[in-house]
Amino acid sequence: MHQEGDIEWARGLDEAGILGTISGVARISPEEIMQASQATLLYQLYVYGDDTWVRDKVQMAESCGYKAIVVTVDSPYYGQRERDVLAGYDPRNVGWRTAVNPPDRRCIQRLDWDWIQRIQSHTSLPVVLKGLVHPEDAKTASKLSIAAIWISNHGGRQLDHSLPTLEVLERIAPTCRKFSMPIVFDGGIRRGADVLLALLLGADVVAVGRLPIFGLAVDGASGIKTVFDNLENELRTAMGMVGLTSLSFKYNDFQDRLVRRDDPSLSTRWDKIEK
């Protein structure tokens, strides 16, 4: 997407004043990325090695200033990405590379709650789990003092027919509220109104993947800033449209101000209005 890859990504987050996550399979080493910007960054981890490998990764992240470890739990296998195959795209052959990440997928396929606890034992940083979709998992996570769950289906890139994340959010939010478990949410956020909908449905943090990547591809760090400026403007407009002057509303207060087209209660609501 950009010659300077994740370094430009971190610069863009810094310019935009946005909290960001650096991929554990970034082409450039996490230390170099951290040095390149003042952005507040989290370190995303794929469990691609044994316990010692994991310990070294999380301790490296902690010592160079990452603020949390985000363990991605939705990718025991690499999704079949036909477009990449057809285009002959192999990220290992592209661009500047200073990070070496030979993945051992057998480890990530054995990931379980014991593993998660071992990861926690290696760091004093908060641990976030990315890719949870079931309320029971949210409950277990809260018992293990996980800092937040990140509802995600990997942008739909891993598994056809994976659950749409907005539906997961609706299903999981009540459990998370009950156990005071913060929710990060992503998947298909393209507009400010999408951000507002996710917040109204219970997300505490809304994350974007492809949107800033498009900005990065078009105009590097400035492109990322433009994307977030646009998103913020759209969010303010959407809030104004539904009569919200601040984001400090209570979960459940305003859910009926925005509806999705497939919302079964929509027709009932229109019926009431028409009467």
What part of residues 222-261 is at the interface with ligand FMN (CB under 6 A)? none
Cβ(150)–Cβ(207) under 8 Å? yes
Q: Going edge to edge, which strands form the sheet with 69-72?
A: 20-22, 41-45, 69-72, 127-132, 148-151, 183-185, 205-206
Q: Which residues of 219-242 are buried (b: 16+ CB within 10 A; e: fewer)?
A: ebbbbbbbbbeebeebbeebbeee
Residues forming the active site: 154
Pattern 5-34, ligand FMN, x by CB under 6 A: ------------------x-x---------
CA distance 143 to 249: 27
76 binds ligand FMN (CB under 6 A): no
How many angstroms separate the CA atoms of 123 and 58, rounded?
7
The stretch near ligand FMN (CB under 6 A) out of 55-63, 78-86, 204-212, 245-253 is 204-212
**Nearest residue (CB) to ligand FMN, 126 versus 254:** 126
Side-chain half-sphere CA neighbours of 254 within 13 A: 19
For the CB of residue 123, give the shortest distance to ligand FMN in the complex, in Å.
Answer: 18
Q: Are the C-beta atoms of residues 30 and 61 closer than 8 Å to each other?
A: yes
Judge whether 99 and 30 are in contact, CB under 8 Å: yes
- Does the protein bind ligand FMN through residue 130 (CB under 6 A)? yes
Q: Is 210 in the site for ligand FMN (CB under 6 A)?
A: yes
* Shortest distance (Å) from residue 47 CB to ligand FMN: 12
Q: Which of 39, 189, 206, 216 binds ligand FMN (CB under 6 A)?
A: 189
Q: Which of residues 89-128 bind ligand FMN (CB under 6 A)?
A: none
What are the residues facing 185 on neighbouring strands? 151, 206
Interface with ligand FMN by CB under 6 A: which range of 107-115, 172-180, 183-191, 193-201? Answer: 183-191
Taking CB positions, which residue lies at the least distance from ligand FMN? 209
What SS3 state is found at 124?
coil
Query: Residue 164, interface with ligand FMN (CB under 6 A)?
Result: no
User: Does the footprint of ligand FMN cover residue 152 (CB under 6 A)?
Assistant: yes
Strands 41-45 and 205-206, sheet pairing: unpaired
Cβ at position 147, least distance to ligand FMN in Å: 16
The continuous run of DSSP H or E covering 171 comes out as helix 165-178
Among residues 11 and 27, whose Cβ is nearest to ligand FMN?
27
Judged by the rule CB under 6 A, the positions of this chain that interact with ligand FMN are 23, 25, 44, 72, 130, 152, 154-155, 186-189, 208-211, 213
